[in-house]
Structure 1
Amino acid sequence: MLFTWVSVEQSGEQLRIAERGQVTGRFNAAIGNLSSSAVDVRLGGIYGLERLMRDSPYDQPTVVTLLTAYVREHTHGQVDVSAEARPATDVQAAMTVLANRDATRDGSGDFDLRNVRLRNLGYMGMWDRARQRVIGINFPEADFSDADLGSADLGHARLPGAVLVGTSLREATLDGTELADAVLTEADLSRSHLVRADLRRIQATGAHFDDTYLTRAALVGARLQRATLVRASLPGAILRGADLREADLRDADFTGADLSGADFTGAKNLSTVEFKGTVRKGTRGLGSYG
């Protein structure tokens, strides 16, 4: 009986060693493909790492760190004045793989996408047939500081706690996106769409929301000191307890918004703002405006 038990244990250990060897082989092959000059081979490496990440959760932190480094290396410092410029096929693929991973397995993975240039990044969600809805676009607490995400499609993305300091999100699609607790200091969200976005407790001091659509967005507890919201559209938005001190609100539209407890002390151009139908219990700094 003891012999049988020991034999089973030894067989199990040998199987684990063999499986680990296969994983290592697959990993090395994918890494080799990433350095190829042929885009189709690089794509094979990216999708090989995606399969490895799904088959071996233990290796996901390493794969995440590797793919984010790949994106940085292939976009950092790029200068392209063309408004139509798009990420290379392999970069888009790497971002899509990262967007649709299981973020709970990230562990110590380094999700560093600072300074990347991903203008016109395409939509990265995937359709879940079983649940009949889009899943994916999962970047919680990712660091996109000083990145160019202009005109990127990040609709319904999960970006809670993300760091987007100085990030360009001009004309980006962020409808329904979760950005609760994100850091958007000095970020540029001009002309972007944030309809029904979750912006609770964002830190957006000095950020730009000029001509931005924020219809029914949740901005509870948002810190918007010195932000610019020139001609911003906020009908039905929820700004309970928001801090808009010294913000520039020229021609902004707050029709039907909930401004309970919000602080407008020192806000600029209040005489040009539309406050029709707003809830203003406990609001400070508005005086007789609206």
Structure 2
Amino acid sequence: MARLNTSARLRRISDRGTRRGGRPPARRSRADERTTVNRLQWAALTAASLPGIAALAALLFTWASVEQSGEQLRIAEQGQVTGRFNAAIGNLASSAVDIRLGGLYGLSRLMHDAPDEQPTVVTLLTAYVREHTRGAVDGRAGAGPATDVQAAMTVLANRDPARDGGGDFDLRNVHLRNLGYMGIWDQKRQRVTGINFPDADFSGADLGDADLAHARLTGASLVDARLQEATLDDAALSDAELTNADLAGSSLLRTDLSGIRATGAHFEDTDMSEAVLEDARLQRASLVRASLPDADLRGADLREADLRDADFTGADLTDADFTGAKNAATAHFTDAVRENTRGLSS
């Protein structure tokens, strides 16, 4: 009975609490639930991203290490280039020709391995040739340049001229009589390579009896140069400056002489068979006994040139100007094309 009374009293107390405004505990709002979910999602995403962040950090560290290693490698390579250059220069100062040759070919290899150094090497080698061809010239018949000079010229001839940059290709007044052949036969391409002297300055140089067959001398300066009895077969001399040059007795078979400036030049007894002399300027040039069969002289300027006993058999003289030419009556024009040619009697 006492237990029932106790239960009844508890119910009454509960009812009074309800009537006085008591409320049951409130549930968590939906906004709070969404916030909790979002936090959990961000936590999961962050956890999932940690391996990627670690990989990115490793990649950045590796890149920085590679950059540092690359810079160190460049410094080391530059140091090697400087060392090789200094060693070659030291060899050039030797009194022994074999050591000097080693220095020359060391510079050749350096040009190949470090193209940026080529302008410096070209300037150095041309200075070497000038210095070692000064003074008295060996007057013996057939005597050529010293072995080291020939080697230096061969190195220069076989470089890539496109890399010359600001190199000073100055070979003025050098004595290179009987200069030997510098070309290299390319078995794969079946042609001669090398002998690259475009835009070189050979003003006043002695190149008598030099073997310059297949040479590239386009745009070169050969003012007052001596090329007597030189071999220039199949060479390229287009736009070269040959004012007052002496090419007496030289061989210019199939040579490209288009656009040359050769006022007052000497071509006595020169063989220019099948040569290209289109638009060549040959005013007052001497062509005494010159041989020009099948040559291309279209648009050439031969005003006041000496044509005594010159042979123009089969040559193309279209638009050529012979006004004031000397001894034209003794020249041979058999089968020559003379369309619009000026200054020659019919």
Q: Which TM bucket (shorter chain)?
A: over 0.9
> Residues 112 and 144 of structure 1 are in contact (CA less than 8 Å); yes or no, is this contact kept in structure 2?
yes
- Supply the AA of the counterpart residue of 1:115: N
Q: Per chain length, whose mean CA-contact separation is higher, i.e. which structure has more relative contact order (CA < 8 Å, sep 6+)?
A: 1
Mapped partners of 1:196, 1:129: distance in 2: 22
Q: 1:144 aligns with which of 202, 214, 217?
A: 202
- Counterpart residue identity of residue 192, structure 2: V
2:286 pairs with 1:223 = no
C-alpha distance in structure 1 between counterparts of 2:253 and 2:311, whole Å: 14
- In structure 2, C-alpha distance between the alignment counterparts of 1:78 and 1:112, rounded to whole Å: 20
* Structure ranking higher in helix proportion: 2
1:119 paired with 2:166, answer: no
How many angstroms does 1:206 deviate by? 0.2
| 1:134 aligned residue | 192
1:35 aligns with 2:90: no
Kindly provide the amino acid, as one letter, of the partner of residue 153 in structure 1: D
Distance 1:268 1:211 in 2: 16
1:259 aligns with 2:322: no
Cα displacement (A) at 1:130:
1.9
TM (normalized to structure 1)? 0.98
**Cα distance in structure 2, aligned partners of 1:133 and 1:281:** 36
Match of 1:189 in 2: 247
Deviation string 1:246-265 (CA, Å, 9 cap, x unpaired) is: 00010000000000000001
What is the DSSP-based 3-state SS (H/G/I as helix, E as strand, rest coil) of the residue aligned with 2:332? coil
CA distance in 1, matches of 2:221, 2:134: 17
What residue ranges of structure 1 are gaps of 5+ in the alignment? none
Q: CA deviation at 1:222?
A: 0.3
1:44 match: secondary structure? helix
Question: Does the 8 Å CA contact 1:77/1:116 hold for their aligned counterparts?
Answer: no
In 2: Cα distance, 1:140 partner to 1:159 partner:
4
Give the alignment partner of residue 44 of structure 1, picking from 95, 98, 102.
102
Give CA deviations for 1:270-290 in whole Å, capped at 9, x if unaligned.
1100000000111100023xx
CA distance in 2, matches of 1:225, 1:256: 22
Indicate whether 1:156 and 2:186 are aligned.
no
The one-letter amino acid paired with 2:335 is: G
C-alpha distance in structure 1 between counterparts of 2:244 and 2:140, whole Å: 23
Whether 1:97 and 2:150 are equivalent positions in the alignment is: no
SS at match of 1:254: coil
Secondary structure of the 1:82 match is coil
TM, length-normalised to structure 2: 0.82
> 1:78: how far off?
3.2
Task: Mark the structure with the bigger radius of gyration.
Answer: 2
Unmatched 5+ stretches in structure 2: 1-58
Counterpart AA for 2:204: D
Deviation at residue 80 of structure 1 after TM alignment: 3.6
**Shift in Å, 1:4:** 1.6
TM superposition shift of 1:84: 1.6
Count how many residue pairs are aligned between Structure 1 and Structure 2: 288
Counterpart code for 1:146 = G
**In 2, distance between residues paired with 1:35 and 1:25?**
16
Which residue of structure 1 lines up, in the alignment, with residue 46 of structure 2? Answer: none
**1:96 is aligned with what amino acid?**
T
Match of 1:69 in 2: 127
Tell me the distance in 2 between the aligned counterparts of 1:120 and 1:148.
9
Aligned to 1:203: 261
Q: Following TM superposition, by how much is the alpha carbon of 1:76 offset from its aligned partner in structure 2, in angstroms?
A: 2.5
Q: In the alignment, what sits opposite 1:7?
A: 65
Give how far 1:131 is off. 1.5
After superposition, give the CA deviation of every residue in 1:15-35 in whole Å (9 maximum; x if it has no partner): 000011000000000000001
| CA RMSD after TM alignment | 0.8
Q: 1:107 aligns with which of 138, 149, 165?
A: 165
Task: Give the secondary-structure state (helix, strand or coil) at the position aligned to 2:310.
Answer: coil
Query: 1:127 offset after TM fit, Å?
Result: 1.6
SS in 2 for 1:4: helix
Alignment of 1:275 with 2:301, yes or no, is no
Could you tell me which residue of structure 2 aligns to residue 286 of structure 1? 344
**Alpha-carbon distance, 1:85 to partner:** 1.8
Aligned twin of 1:60:
118
